[in-house]
Amino acid sequence: MYKNLAVINGVLLAIMVFFNGMISKKTGPYMSTLIFHTIGLITIVLIAIVRKNKLPKLIGMKLIFLLPGVLGVITILLNNLCIPVIGVTLTSSISLYGQLVMSIIVEHFGLFGMPVNKFRKERILGFSIISLGAIVMITI
């Protein structure tokens, strides 16, 4: 089930990046980032209301737990800067490659409290194919 959800997530990300890139072309990267996150805030508040979820208290929360919000804004802003210049496909491909590399590092060393999952030699072929694909996408 979770692997299917991950595929759906990838499809939704591609659609999101495409439309946000289109908004960015019309409004600029900074305004489109603001629009994107404002709509996102409204959406999650509505979902929380419908599901009757209580929002957690932020008082006393470690600042490090707010980092994903900052990284989310930076990620969307970088997409908005890249898409008008290099397109959705190349932006998505290079971003996916960066995610893969960082994920391997995080799991291999057990960073951020993740369990250690050493990069095994059996994965070298798959990683090499993805790396080659990224290189081809960048150079063509």
How many domains would you assign to the chain?
A: 2
DSSP 8-state class, residue 122: G
Q: CA 84, CA 25: separation in Å to the nearest integer?
A: 6
Q: Return the pLDDT at 35.
A: 93
Going from the C-alpha of 135 to that of each of 89, 117, 131, the distances in angstroms are 13, 26, 6
Query: Looking at the structure, do residues 103 and 48 belong to the same domain, yes or no?
Result: no
Q: CA 10, CA 5: separation in Å to the nearest integer?
A: 9
Query: Looking at the structure, do residues 41 and 59 belong to the same domain, yes or no?
Result: yes
Query: Looking at the structure, do residues 33 and 71 belong to the same domain, yes or no?
Result: yes
Q: Return the pLDDT at 61.
A: 80
The pTM for the full model equals 0.78
Q: Which amino acid is at 36?
A: F
Going from the C-alpha of 45 to that of each of 38, 48, 58, 71, 91, the distances in angstroms are 11, 5, 15, 20, 30
Q: Measuring CA to CA, which residue among 109, 92, 101, 102 is closest to residue 131?
A: 101
The domain boundary residue, chosen from 52, 82, 112: 82
Q: Measuring CA to CA, which residue among 30, 20, 140, 36 is closest to residue 88?
A: 20
Domain interval for residue 139 = 87-140
Q: Return the pLDDT at 107.
A: 93
Query: Looking at the structure, do residues 103 and 56 belong to the same domain, yes or no?
Result: no
Name the pLDDT band for 32 (thresholds 50, 70, 90).
very high
Our CA angle for 66, 46, 22, nearest 5°, is: 75
- Region 2-30: mean pLDDT is 89
Name the pLDDT band for 57 (thresholds 50, 70, 90).
confident
